[in-house]
Chains A and B, each alone.
Chain A
Amino acid sequence: MRSRDLYSLLLIAIVAGVALFINFAPSQSFLGRDVRFRLGLDLQGGIQVLLRTTSAAATKDEVQTAAGVIERRVNGLGVGETVVQVAGNDRIIVELPGVENPEQAVETLRGTGRLEFIDPQGQYIPTGTVVRTTGEPNPAKLASTNPLTGTNTVTNTAATGPIYQSITDGKDLDTSAVQPAFSQGGTLGSKPAVAFAFKGNSALGLEKFTSASVGKPMCIVLDSAVVSCPVINAALPNGSGVIETNSTVDRDRILNELKYGALPIPLVVETSRTVSATLGQDSVRTSITAGIAGLIVVALFMVLFYRLPGFLAALALMIYTAISFGIYRLIPITLTLPGIAGFILSIGLAVDANVLIFARLREEYRRGRDIRTALELGFEESWPAIRDSNASTIITSIVLFLFGNSFGVSIIKGFAITLFLGIVVSLFTAIVVTRTFLRLATPVFSEQNAWLFGIDRRNTSAVDPTAPAEAV
C-alpha cells in the first residue's frame, strides 16, 4: 500500500464524510447554511409568471427597478424561496413556490400601486369600478376584453365616461408612513385598514379638498379601480388618513402595493405556469421510487458482471449519490422533475467510465499482464475516451443551460445543471474513488481468486497489442 493511495483514501473519506454530514445534518443546516432540498415549482406546486412590459420605450434600468419593486412585494407575501429575475430587455421572471392562491399573487405582482384620491362630484362609485382620472385618463384595465364579469356595463360606461379630477399624485405618497392600521382607531367593529400620508402638493391638495367638502363622498382609487368612497367626516390634516378594507388579505395586498412603491412601467402576463401541490407531491414520490430502483438495478448489474471491481464501483456510485445530493443542498440547486431525470441519467454516465475502465482491465489481463499492471493500464488507456466523451456531454449541458436561460424555463436549466454536476462528480468517483479502492484491494488478489475480478486467462491470446480481445 503506497502512501499516495492512503492520501487519496483520506481525501475520499473527508469528501464523503462532509457529503454525508450535509445530507443527514441535524436541524438541516451546515456551517450556518440552510441545507434543505429546494424543490422546484413542478415538485411543490406554485406559480411561475413571465411579465413583459408593454411600453416600447422602457429602458433596461426601468425593468430592473420594476423587478426590484416586485421583489419587495413578493417578499411581502411571505412565501419562501422566491425568484425574481430580469430576462432579456423587457421581461421579468417571477417564481413563487407553494403559493396557494395564484390569482391573488399575480394581482399583487402586477398592481402598479398608484394611489389617487378623486373628486366623484358627489356620487358614490361602486367598489371595483375602473375609472378614468386626470392622473390616468386611459387605464390599461379598460382595454382588456372582459366579457362576463358583473362590472362589464359599468366598465364600458367608464370608458367613454367622465374623467374625474385627481386630488393627489401617486408620486407624493410617503411610503414610510404606509402602515397597517384599524379603522376607527381599533374600537369594536373596526376593520383592517392601511394608514397613509402624502407629502408636498398632494398633502396640501388633500387637506384643502377635504376641509371644503365635509359631508360629501371622496373616492380612493388604487390602480384606476375604486377601493371605496367614504364620506368625509373631517378634514385630513397634513394629507394623512386611513383606507378601510374588508379583510386582512385585502389590507395586506393594498399595503404591499403602497409601501413597496409603484411600478415604473406597465407589465402584462406573457406566460404563466401554475402547478398544484398535490401533483407536485405525486411527482416527488414517483421520482424517489425511480431513483432508488435505478440505483439498485445498476449497482446489481455492476456487481454481477464485474464482481469485485463492480462492487467497488457500486460503492463509488453510493458516494457519488451522497456527494451529488450534498452539492444540491449546499449550493443550493432547485430540484425539478427533469432535474431529477438528469441526475438519474447521470448515474448511467457515472457507471460508463467504470465500464470503460473495467472492460479495458479485462482486456489487458487476458493479454497476459499481471493484475496490477492491467489495472493501471485500464485506467490510463481508457482516459482519453472518458475525457473526450464527457467533454462533449459537458458542451451540451452548457448549451442547454444557456438555452434554458433565454427560454425562461427553469425546468431545462434544472436538467442541464444536474447533468453537468453529474458528469463532474462522476469523473471524481469513477476515476479517483474507484481507482483508490481497487489499488487498495489488489493485495487480496491472487490467481486462485481470479473469479473476484470475473476474469481468467483461459482464452488468452498471445501478447499482442493489436489482437482483438473478446472481453465479454
Chain B
Amino acid sequence: MENLVRHRYWWFTISLLIILPGLYFLLLNPLITGGGFRVGLRPSIDFSGGALWDLRFPGKAPADVTTSAIVDVFAKSGFEGAQVQLSSATLDGKPAAEVLVRTRSLSATDPNSEINVVFAALKTAFGEVTRERLESVGPTVSQESTRSAIIAVLGASLFILIYLTWAFRKAPHPVRYGVCALIAMLHDVLLVLGVAAILGTFFGLEVDALFLTALLTILSFSVHDTIVVFDRIRENLINRRSGEIFDNIVNHSIVQTLPRSINTQITTLFTLTALLLFGGQSIRNFIAILLIGLISGTYSSIFNAAQLLVVWEHREWQRWFRRGDPGSDQPAIPA
C-alpha cells in the first residue's frame, strides 16, 4: 500500500509551486508594474461600474470593423476611452463581426438618448448593427456588490467552519477538522484567484458576478470532498486498534476514500466538460474556473486537509526550523 501520508511535505510543495506564481500576479506584479497596492484582478462592470456593449455587424468580417474606428465612433458619441474587443460570430446562420465594447456607465437620468446617439453614429459608420447585449452598472451598485461579495465569501466560510466543528464534535479535537478544512478551502481560493490573476494579466479575463458564484461553489465542493475524507478518519478512529498510530489511520482513510474521490471527480469533469464544449459563450469562463477549482478542491482535500491533521497531531511546526527535512521519517508517535 502506498503511504501517502509519509510524503506529505511533497504534496505541500506541489501546492505551493502551483499557488506561488498566481500569488505573484495577484499581489506582487501589480505592485511592481503599477507602483501601488492593488489586487491583480480585472474587475468586470459588475464590480467596477461601467457599460458593456455586445454588438454584431451582420455580413461583416472582423477586419471590416476596426477597433480604432469603433473607438472613434464611441468617442464622438460622448464615450471617451472605450475598450474594444473584436471577434467573429454567427447571426441567423450568417457570419457577423462581433464587438464587445466597454465604456463608462450610461447616464442615470437619460440613458435612452445616449444609446440612440451611439447607435445612430454606428449605423452611419458601419451600416447595419444589432445589439445583442447592453449592460450598464452604476457606481453605487458596483460598490455594494464588491462589499457583499466579500461578505458572502467570509460568511459562507464561517458557517462551514461552525457546521464542521459541530459535525465532528464527537471526534477528538473537533476544531482541528474545521480549521484544516478551511485551510484546504483557502488553498483552493488562492489557487483560483491566482489563476484568475494570471489569465487576467495575459488574456484579459474579468472577474464578474459569475466568477464569484464559481468561487463560492468551489468552496462548498472543496469542503464536500474534505468532509468525505474526514468522515472516514472519524469512523476509523472510533474502530481504532490499540497501538495503531494516527498517521496510519489517516493514510487508510485516504486510500479507502480514494476510489470515491476519483470517480466523483470524473463524473463532475464529464458534466463540466460537456458544459464547456456545448454550454454557450457567456458561461465559458465560469465553467473553466469551476473546472480548475474543483480539481484543486479534490487535491486539497486528499493531499492538504487530511495531511494537515497529521502535522497538527505531531505539532510538527515545532521542528520545521530545527531540522533540515521535516518530512523525513520520524519516530512513530502514538497519538
* A residues at B contact (CB < 8 Å): 42, 50, 52, 54, 102-103, 106-107, 140-141, 143-149, 268-276, 278-279, 282-283, 286-287, 289-291, 293-294, 297-298, 301-302, 305, 337-338, 341, 344-345, 347-348, 351-352, 355-356, 359, 363, 381, 384-385, 388-393, 395-397, 399-400, 402-403, 406-409, 411-412, 415, 419, 465-466, 468-472
What DSSP secondary structure best describes chain A's contact surface?
Answer: helix
| Contact partner, B117, options A148, A274, A302, A400, Cβ 8 Å | A148
The answer to whether B280 and A282 touch across the interface, beta carbons within 8 angstroms, is yes
Is the pair A283, B223 in contact by a Cβ cutoff of 8 Å?
A: no
CB-nearest residue of chain B relative to A106?
Answer: B112
Contact of A107 among B108, B112, B117, B236 (CB under 8 A): B112
Q: List the A residue with the shortest CB-CB distance to B117.
A: A148
Q: B109 — nearest CB in chain A belongs to which residue?
A: A144
Contact of B140 among A143, A270, A356, A470 (CB under 8 A): A270
Q: How far, in whole Å, are A470 and B244 apart by their CA atoms in the complex?
A: 20
Among B29-37, B129-137, B196-204, B302-310, the one that faces the other chain is B129-137
Measured CA separation A407–B263 after assembly (Å) = 36
Given A106-B111, A272-B135, A399-B159, also A293-B286 (CB < 8 A) = no
Known: A148-B117, A149-B117. A337 touches B239 (CB 8 A): no
Return the CB mask of B124-157 against A: 1 if under 8 Å, else 0.
0000001111111110110011001101100110
Q: Given A279-B133, A359-B257, A403-B148, output 20 extra A-B contacts at Cβ < 8 Å.
A: A50-B141, A106-B111, A148-B78, A268-B108, A273-B135, A274-B133, A287-B280, A297-B271, A341-B279, A345-B271, A392-B160, A392-B163, A395-B220, A396-B220, A399-B152, A399-B155, A419-B217, A466-B236, A466-B249, A470-B255
List CB contacts (< 8 Å) of B96-124 with chain A.
106-113, 115-117
**Cβ 8 A contact of B220, one of A278, A356, A397:** A397
* Cβ-defined contact, A355 with B263, below 8 A: yes
**Min distance, Cβ A250 to any Cβ of chain B, angstroms:** 15
**Are A466 and B91 neighbours in the complex by a CB distance under 8 Å?**
no
Contacts A50-B141, A273-B135, A338-B286 given; does A465 touch B239 at CB 8 Å? yes
Which A-B residue pairs are the 9 nearest by beta carbons? A396-B220, A268-B108, A348-B268, A144-B110, A286-B280, A294-B274, A294-B271, A293-B274, A403-B152
How distant is A10 from chain B, measured CB to nearest CB, in Å? 30
B322 at the interface (CB under 8 A from A): no
CB of B213 closer than 8 Å to a CB of A: yes
Check A471–B136 contact: CB distance below 8 A. no
Q: Which of B18-26, B60-68, B225-233 contacts A (4 or more CB under 8 A)?
A: B225-233
Tell me if B130 and A391 are in contact (CB < 8 A).
no
Whether B216 sits at the interface, judged by CB under 8 Å, is: yes
Q: Which of B167, B234, B249 has the most CB of A within 10 A?
A: B167
Task: State in angstroms the CA–CA spacing of A102 and B225 once bound together.
Answer: 45
Whether A345 contacts B280 in the complex (CB less than 8 A), given A385-B232, A465-B239, A471-B259, comes out as: no
Does B10 reach chain A (CB closer than 8 Å)?
no
Q: Report yes or no: A468 in contact with B112, Cβ–Cβ below 8 A.
A: no
Given known pairs A52-B140, A355-B263, A399-B216, the reply for A269 and B209 (CB within 8 Å) is: no
Q: Are A466 and B283 in contact (CB under 8 A)?
A: no
Roughly how many angstroms separate A268 CA and B219 CA in the complex, as a whole number?
37
30 A-B pairs whose Cβ atoms sit less than 8 Å apart in the complex: A42-B282, A50-B141, A269-B136, A270-B108, A271-B141, A287-B280, A290-B275, A290-B280, A297-B274, A301-B270, A341-B279, A345-B290, A348-B264, A351-B267, A359-B259, A388-B231, A391-B163, A392-B220, A396-B217, A396-B220, A399-B152, A399-B216, A400-B213, A407-B144, A409-B209, A415-B217, A466-B241, A466-B252, A471-B259, A472-B262
Q: For the complex, count residues of B whose C-beta is within 8 A of A.
A: 93
Chain A residues contacting B149 (CB-CB under 8 Å) are: 403
State A385–B283 Cα separation when bound (angstroms): 31
- Least CB separation from B139: chain A residue: A270
| Nearest neighbor of B54 in chain A, beta-carbon distance | A279
Does chain A have a CB within 8 A of B332?
A: no
> Considering only CB atoms, which chain A residue lies closest to B219 in the complex?
A396
B328 within 8 A of A: no
The smallest beta-carbon distance between A9 and chain B, in angstroms, is 26
Q: Is the CB of B137 within 8 A of A271?
A: yes
Q: How far apart sit A298 and B275, CA to CA, in the bound complex (Å)?
A: 13
Complex CA gap A469/B241 in Å reads: 17
Counting CB contacts under 8 A, is B7 at the interface? no
A90, closest chain B residue (CB)? B140
Task: Render B231-254 as a binary contact track against A, CB cut-off 8 A, 1 for contact.
Answer: 110111001110010000100100
Q: Is B27 an interface residue (CB 8 A)?
A: no
* B49 closest partner in A (C-beta): A271
Cβ of B224 under 8 Å from chain A: yes
Partner of B109, one of A102, A141, A290: A141
**In the complex, which residues of chain A have a beta carbon less than 8 angstroms from the beta carbon of B87?**
none
Contacts A140-B109, A395-B156, A466-B236: A348 and B131 contacting too (C-beta < 8 A)?
no
